[in-house]
Structure 1
Amino acid sequence: MLTVKEGEYVTFRTGSSLATIIGSLPWFRRIFIRERIQLVHGHSTFSSMAHEAMFHGWLMGIRTVFTDHSLFGFADASAILTNTLVLQYSLANVDRIICVSYTSKENTVLRGKLDPRKVFTIPNAIETKLFYPDIKQFYENPTTIIFLGRLVYRKGADLLCAVIPKVCTRYTARSMVVFKVCTQHPQVRFIIGGDGPKRLELEEMREQHRLHDRVTLIGTLPHDMVREVLVQGQIFINTSLTEAFCMSIVEAASCGLHVVSTRVGGIPEVLPAEFISLEEPVPDLLVGAISDAVRRRENSQLMNPIEKHEAVSMMYYWPSVCSNKPCLHRYANQGIGFGIIYIVVAMINMLFLAVLEFFDPSYGISMADDMPRLKSTKFSKSPAHNMPKDPECSMNHRLNCDMPFRNIAKTLPK
């Protein structure tokens, strides 16, 4: 059973929240004790709540795991502050770190100055039974190129705006990728799902080149409708400028689409070469890759969508991915300045933890009721469902690895 707790955070722009550290300790402590938490798993470098939860969990003797999904630089001010003030200290005492690709692992190790031996690469997975092909639409619909994602600079919205006119109408020096593709292939149409600050530029491009009948902007798309949009096309385009692991191309491939993507970050690790066409993030190169995919579609040379779906089901099947999960005092080494500051913060937090134990003892906190476990869970009807279970793969952390849990009762003051 999944229990959702509402955090008492004050948010500002884009839902961000400032770190409080000590301020969040009382209610994190009650949650950890009441729910008998055995493992704290934080996600995202920019999540203050995740870093605070792992910090408090470590102080209470709970094992901690951190998963990083994104790639970041080293030179800009934001990256320097994040790497120095957050990552290097927050991850100093984390037990295990998970990255979604080998490129992401290398990036995280360098940014956080981490021991590579405690960083593991585990790809994301999808529920493939939710993303299955529609054979009728795949072969009967006109050639359709799908884009699903946030319309922001990082996701290559400017690049997309450059490509579409080149595909749809006569090439001009000022046009971009879509314009070129539409010029060379008059029957090609685009469906763009997503919203963001770059949507206005796409609407202006469509207006300027009079592509209303060939470029459809559907705006924000609920996740349960993603498959319904994907199966309308035969080609999926991803224009991200940086990406650790792109889930959208896995979902598209599971629906039988051929993927055209920029060769950035961890994307080359995600799909086999016959499933994806990779090019540098340059409009003309992407136009060439799209044109080649369109010609293969017109000549019936694209892989059968059912075969592609079955292959993706074997590669990105949750129980199979989970079977590869690893078994899930260093602040002073992070520098004389901020290292000492973090030691002081940790000591203050430990004192506050002792005060809370005195005024609100853990034995007085009522425990949450346990829910009975289901005898079996059917994740998917894919062939991978019949694979033998790894005896070391278990949702129970005690059986899954040799790392014994620290006894919370022993770490709390009497």
Structure 2
Amino acid sequence: MPYNIAMTSDFFYPQPGGVESHMYQLATKLIDRGHKVIIITHSYKTRHGVRYLTNGLKVYYVPFFVIYRESTLPTVFSFFPIFRNILIREKIDIVHGHASLSSLCHEAILHARTMGLRTCFTDHSLFGFADAASILTNKLLKFTLSDVDHVICVSHTCKENTVLRAALDPSMVSVIPNAVVAENFKPDPTAASKSHITIVVISRLFYNKGTDLLVAAIPRICELHPSVHFIIAGSGPKAIDLEQMLEKHMLQDRVQMLGPVRHEEYWWRLQAAGYMLPEEDDLVSATSRAIKEIRMGRVKTEKFHEQVKSMYSWTDVAERTERVYEGICTGERVGLMERLKRYYGCGIWAGKLFVLCVVVDSLILVLLEFLFPQSGIDTARSWPTKAPRMTDGGGRRDRSKRRGSNVEAVVEEDLNGVREN
């Protein structure tokens, strides 16, 4: 059966990134399979209100204060009124949150569970256990995932990391990998240099992306292999460490830093790559072996595209995610007391704080129902999936009833509804 799904995260277009691309590609493929999908994120400088993207994907850009790396200020309860309004308007069945560092995602899952909706969470990154930021993030993740229907991770390593961080039952965590749009990354063997080997790195330059390993490994690789060059695309606080490393080892002529690169420019940056990129020694050793294989002609990099194309597909990701949705929608619903038991087991002091948050959230829902009853909130019309063939009396198509007219009516009605509410 088709589901009405709300994907929620602080990270979405127009900001580029892996989470943003994952949400967009997954949403469009789920729409192709007959589901209704909306995105709820915070507003950006150039994005406010309601926007429609390709395939009728509706995005709500909610005005919230951003504090760090496009993450909104955690307020726990202030997001609830507008979030409830959107879910009721769109008749949402499932709330799907993305990214551990998104406070909007954590709050959305809490409020959705309070409203009795099904919830799902996808984790995209690996985090540690020792530093203060990781400890705080892991405790917040434990709070959110104590009462979630299912968890998705993008790799088996990510699953192990998430299970340990949030103390989860491994049976409630599925692994569904990311995919690529193979048509956007067609190789051009003639573009690679014959005189030297180029290693291309495209990543956000943050600690959790392994930039420190890159800083340590590049000088050693360049010393061992004089014909190797690097191209690094991406931005972040660790860019300063890379620049200092280049100055210290005088590698400016062998390492090119491009800064942030738009998604549509990735493909021709990758054309120059001989191959692409977790202890430092292992990284250097593996890279050295790969360089040797390429020099001896044992590796045909142009064949990688066909292999990856057959292995990863966003359609396959959508089908597997759909099966997760089917599983959580057929499961038993839990009451408030069972939810409180789950939260209470999160720690001596944290458990009591979590229970208090859930109780307050439930009281806020009662207050919202009294002040803004569900019956008084208009429901939004869904984006038309197919254009019905309409004719006038003479059998000709009625141009006044084309799909374009229906679309304009839906857009105008939705915008009016948002202004009123």
TM-score, length of structure 1 as denominator length:
0.70
1:4 counterpart SS class = strand
Residue of structure 2 equivalent to 1:135: 189
1:93 counterpart SS class = coil
Aligned-partner Cα distance in 1 for 2:243–2:137: 35
Aligned-partner Cα distance in 2 for 1:162–1:82: 27
Residue of structure 1 equivalent to 2:310: 314
Equivalent in 169, 174, 189 of residue 229 of structure 2:
189
- More RCO (CA 8 Å, sep 6+): 1
1:37 counterpart SS class = coil
Aligned-pair distance for 1:110?
Answer: 2.3
> For structure 2, which runs of at least 5 residues remain unmatched after alignment?
1-55, 326-337, 388-421
2:103 aligned with 1:48, yes or no?
Answer: yes
Residue of structure 2 equivalent to 1:179: 222
1:217 counterpart SS class = strand
Aligned-pair distance for 1:362?
Answer: 1.3
Give % identity.
41
Contact 2:176 2:320 in 1 (8 A): yes
2:101 aligned with 1:104, yes or no?
Answer: no
Equivalent in 283, 293, 296 of residue 296 of structure 1:
293
Cα offsets for 1:204-255 (capped at 9, x unmatched): 4434544443322211111211111011121223xxxxxxxxxxxxxxxxxx
Change in Cα spacing, 1:292 to 1:349, as seen in structure 2 (3 Å) is closer
Mapping of residues 10-409 of structure 1, within 5 Å: 10-84=65-139, 86-138=140-192, 140=194, 142-164=196-218, 176-181=219-224, 184-185=225-226, 187-237=227-277, 262=278, 280-282=279-281, 285-305=282-302, 307-325=303-321, 326-328=323-325, 329-333=338-342, 334=345, 335=347, 337-373=349-385
Backbone CA RMSD of aligned residues: 2.4
Change in Cα spacing, 1:222 to 1:141, as seen in structure 2 (3 Å) is farther
Contact 2:205 2:239 in 1 (8 A): yes
Contact 1:162 1:178 in 2 (8 A): no
Residue of structure 2 equivalent to 1:7: 62
1:324 counterpart SS class = helix
Aligned-partner Cα distance in 1 for 2:209–2:376: 50
Contact 1:162 1:179 in 2 (8 A): no
Aligned-partner Cα distance in 2 for 1:208–1:79: 31
> For structure 1, which runs of at least 5 residues remain unmatched after alignment?
165-175, 238-261, 263-279, 376-414
Contact 2:217 2:280 in 1 (8 A): no
Change in Cα spacing, 1:357 to 1:330, as seen in structure 2 (3 Å) is closer
Residue 300 of structure 1 aligns with an amino acid whose one-letter code is: G
Aligned-partner Cα distance in 2 for 1:110–1:287: 29
Aligned-partner Cα distance in 2 for 1:289–1:145: 13
Aligned-pair distance for 1:40?
Answer: 0.4
Aligned-pair distance for 1:108?
Answer: 1.7
Aligned-partner Cα distance in 1 for 2:220–2:151: 38
Change in Cα spacing, 1:224 to 1:117, as seen in structure 2 (3 Å) is same
Change in Cα spacing, 1:340 to 1:145, as seen in structure 2 (3 Å) is closer
Contact 1:65 1:96 in 2 (8 A): yes
Residue 98 of structure 1 aligns with an amino acid whose one-letter code is: I
Aligned-pair distance for 1:128?
Answer: 1.4
1:345 counterpart SS class = helix
TM-score, length of structure 2 as denominator length:
0.69
Aligned-partner Cα distance in 1 for 2:376–2:296: 71
Cα offsets for 1:383-410 (capped at 9, x unmatched): xxxxxxxxxxxxxxxxxxxxxxxxxxxx
Aligned-partner Cα distance in 2 for 1:163–1:338: 40
Change in Cα spacing, 1:146 to 1:50, as seen in structure 2 (3 Å) is same
When the two structures are aligned, how many residues end up with a matched partner? 316
Cα offsets for 1:62-83 (capped at 9, x unmatched): 1100111122233333333333
Aligned-partner Cα distance in 2 for 1:220–1:296: 31
